[in-house]
Amino acid sequence: MDAKEIIARRVAREFRDGYVVNLGIGLPTQVPRYLPEGMHITLQSENGFLGLAPLEGEPIPGVVNAGGVPCGLLPGASMFDSAMSFALIRGGHVDVTVLGGLQVDEEGNLANWMVPGKMVPGMGGAMDLVTGARKVIVAMEHCTKDGEPRILDRCTLPLTAKGRVAMVVTELAVFRIALGEFVLVEHAPNVAVDDIRACTKARFAVSDELKPTDLG
């Protein structure tokens, strides 16, 4: 099981029946593969859909998710324009958004849209999602490809939003942010707290109820 699968499996366990969920491009789009059996959620995509589903069979012409990747539709799915889509987001009708991240810091700040000096397509809907969704989960690998921590005391990249992240899920750990405190609540099996501290630049408390992550 690779890092991305570990992260996606753990995020999938955060949902509840009836949730409206928005998934960012990249790693978050893998989450629906690992939903618990019998769970029913509605996937919202900012390009104008409610009721996205994994693609089965041949692509449907013109039906793509927010990342431009062909996807499926559940029975009863609806399509609408961007104005309606962002009205849903900005109006607080999305229960959870799951976004990738470049950096998160101990104050719950998120940087996930650009690296200075590199070409970027723009922020997309991320700014609206992190401010409009009721809960923001960041799903990302713990370190960069060069081994640098992504979880910092302060983000060094341009911010997407300040103080909006509620939860961070990596292949090594699960953190919750509550009352301004960064708290380690789960660790990957066979990963010690000291190992997590060694690759995390943010200060964090350790929950009294710390437990190994259950991946189902």
Q: Which residues are catalytic?
A: 46
Of all residues in the chain, what percent are helix, strand and coil, respectively (each to 5)? 20, 30, 50
Of 99, 102, 131, 97, which is closest to residue 114 (Cα–Cα)? 102
**Helix, strand, or coil (residue 158):** coil
CA distances from 142 to 62, 108, 119, 148, 187 (A): 35, 15, 23, 9, 12
The most distant pair of C-alpha atoms in the chain lies apart, rounded to whole Å, by 51
CA distances from 202 to 106, 111, 113, 197, 205 (A): 5, 14, 20, 8, 10
Structure-token pair, residue 43? 């996937």
